[in-house]
Structure 1
Amino acid sequence: MKLLVLFFLFLNISALAQDYERVDAIISMYPNTFENPEKLSKFIARDFASEEDKVRAIYTWIIQNISYEPDEYKQFDYTFTNYRERNEKDEKLRGKIIQRTLQKGVAVCEGYAMLFEKLCEQQGIKNYLVRGDIKSNFPDIGRPFKRVHIWNVATIDGRPYLFDATWGAGKYNGKFIKEPSYFYYKTPPEIFIKTHYPDMYEDAFSDGILSREQFSEQPLIIEKNLLPKDIEFPTKGLLFENEYFDKILFSIKNTNPKKISYSYGTEMIFIEEIEREANRIKFNVPLIIGAKTLLVYFDGKPALGYKIN
């Protein structure tokens, strides 16, 4: 009966203009857990033909069904005595992580990325894992490079794209908040590099050069369409009190929010005077001595984050 329903669902939505809608609707009919990746892969191979649809199906199933759970870090022993043992344990560990992710519906970034990688492999889609650093919170500003995250590159119709199913599934703030999103599906490199810095820079697929130090020094760029090159001042995320008198000047290109406000960790305060040019906004934020963080909002939503020393 379920297969019959799925068949009619496919017929009814095949005429939709967006192929993604068809893929997402079919995936919503899939089981929430699988015994192994082969069983999920058979479903995908049965229902989808193109590389684009298959990758969309893989990403969609993962973000819809896998929850982030930091306790998963404790589930596996990853010690080794030599490189041969490490390589053997790598493959065994990868299989265990993938199976547990599918069966339990919980994972950390390794589970999300390794499952994505395995399913792409089984569909004949070229892909690989990328390890690197991320920038998501105030403590990330100014710290040394760390390999703390893992994501994916997959090639669709001969072109490589960036994916992060972990961040696409939702967010974690003491507990997992499920918010499936496609923002980290085929994310443009110039946007991805704001928050993800790969161990090997060629995996950023960026036209420009951004060093690890420059990535570390950048402010938190939270506004989705805002790029590092758009921030004329302050360009660095760590602000020093002794460099300012009583206010901090901001100059930002290629954005024009109706309202701008700021917060030093307490109440949100609106900025009354905003200088607007054709392609630029300028405004001042009063400096509060002793504050540790500064968050700037565009139209009520967080846009930029800074640390203060």
Structure 2
Amino acid sequence: MIRIAQLVIVLALTLTTTFYSLAQRSDFQQIDFSRADNMALRFPNHSLKNIKVLADKLTQGLTTDVEKFRALYRWVCDNIAYDYALFEKNRRLRAKQENTADDIARNKKFNAEVFRTLLEKHRTVCTGYAYLLRELCSHVGISCVIVDGYGRTANANIGGNGIPNHSWNAVQLHGKWYLSDPTWASGAVESQFHLFIKNYDDAYFLSDPNVFIQNHYPLDPQWTLLKTNTVTLNEFLNRPIIYSNAYHYQVDNPSPTRFNVAVRKGEEISFQFDSRHDFSQAALMVDGKSIQHSFDKKGLRYSTVQAFNNKGVHVVHLMIDNKSVLTYRVSVK
């Protein structure tokens, strides 16, 4: 019992001293991840019956923890497919969950199905992605945990009370904790036919916590990895919708701060955001029509003004280099 208590104290001290050092991909700008990526490519569709064997193969010859993590992460993203049928089943379970004895039994049964599908078919949902990455990391001495919370997309957790619907990972590298989402990095589900389209997206690897919080809200607030997380769940659920391009361009502090914006006919809205990444052009797209704007720049802050002269509901996208970054819904009375 004494040894366990000592271990808990050491872990608590470690978390306190390393949690809130702002951790992100830029910490490893000097690392060339091509070796790690090539290792991930060497073992396509490898069996998951012995995870330790796979972990050892993927990290052989890699000398730093961050390269080892990269190889494991890329393998998971590239070799595991998202199972939409399981997702729908999970969504229905979470929507009506009340933590009764029956709910707990159904969850256990569903989790067994998730892991069986993962091991046998290399298909899963977010829980399986996060679980597999954690287990691979554990076999090579890397601390990695599963973080449960709210994932926000164009189809989920837009307003309302919110439903915990997503899982991702936090990993400790060189004394600091980092956030990564192997599920969203692996690809996306095509909305019309519900087909999973595999397309690796590097935005979710060791992401900037300031951007990550815009569409990932953990149940345990310590996993925001922010020194001062002033974002409430209600604010999170009502923010503008952001896309992975916001990660690439390091877009932060958007204004307006809410997805739904109400104005009167002829009224102007000031659209603003911070960006720590170079880009060629920013524009607004209103109801599918691109409107070229001159964005004023002061430091990291970009701003422009758009008037709304037609009544009704308008969908407004912030575009950077012709890529969607943010979406608003503007109601004009």
Return the TM-score normalized by structure 2. Answer: 0.73
State the Cα distance separating 1:240 from its structure 2 match: 1.2
State the Cα distance separating 1:264 from its structure 2 match: 3.6
Distance verdict in 2 for CA 1:239–1:198, change over 3 Å: same
Distance verdict in 2 for CA 1:207–1:114, change over 3 Å: same
State the Cα distance separating 1:259 from its structure 2 match: 3.7
Match in the other structure for 2:317:
295
2-structure distance, mates of 1:165, 1:275: 34
1:123-167 CA distance string (max 9 Å, x none): 232221111112221764433232010001121233211111001
Match in the other structure for 1:111:
128
Does residue 25 (structure 1) correspond to residue 45 (structure 2)? The answer is no
Match in the other structure for 2:16:
none
Report the AA paired with residue 27 of structure 1: A
Report the AA paired with residue 298 of structure 1: I
Runs in 1 of length 4+ with deviation above 6 angstroms? 78-81
Does residue 97 (structure 1) correspond to residue 119 (structure 2)? The answer is no
Give 3-state SS (helix, strand or coil) of 2:66's partner: helix
Unpaired runs of 5+ residues, structure 2, are 1-29
Pick one of 43, 48, 51 that aligns with 2:65: 51
1-structure distance, mates of 2:48, 2:158: 41
State the Cα distance separating 1:23 from its structure 2 match: 1.5
Identity %: 23
Does residue 207 (structure 1) correspond to residue 227 (structure 2)? The answer is yes
Give 3-state SS (helix, strand or coil) of 2:283's partner: strand
Pick one of 32, 47, 50 that aligns with 1:34: 47
1-structure distance, mates of 2:104, 2:273: 48
Give 3-state SS (helix, strand or coil) of 1:308's partner: strand
Match in the other structure for 2:25:
none
Report the AA paired with residue 202 of structure 1: Q
Does residue 197 (structure 1) correspond to residue 214 (structure 2)? The answer is no
State the Cα distance separating 1:20 from its structure 2 match: 1.8
Residues 293 and 307 of structure 1 are in contact (CA less than 8 Å); yes or no, is this contact kept in structure 2? Answer: yes
Does residue 238 (structure 1) correspond to residue 260 (structure 2)? The answer is yes
Report the AA paired with residue 52 of structure 1: V
State the Cα distance separating 1:99 from its structure 2 match: 4.8
State the Cα distance separating 1:52 from its structure 2 match: 2.3
Return the TM-score normalized by structure 1. Answer: 0.78
Match in the other structure for 1:172:
189
Higher relative contact order (Cα pairs below 8 Å, separated by 6+ residues): 2
Match in the other structure for 2:6:
none
Q: Which has the larger radius of gyration?
A: 1
State the Cα distance separating 1:74 from its structure 2 match: 6.9
Residues 86 and 114 of structure 2 are in contact (CA less than 8 Å); yes or no, is this contact kept in structure 1? Answer: no
RMSD of aligned Cα (Å) = 3.3
Give 3-state SS (helix, strand or coil) of 2:214's partner: coil
Unpaired runs of 5+ residues, structure 1, are 1-16
Residues 127 and 154 of structure 1 are in contact (CA less than 8 Å); yes or no, is this contact kept in structure 2? Answer: yes
Give 3-state SS (helix, strand or coil) of 1:283's partner: strand
Aligned length, in residue pairs? 286
Distance verdict in 2 for CA 1:253–1:21, change over 3 Å: closer
Report the AA paired with residue 263 of structure 2: E
Report the AA paired with residue 64 of structure 1: D
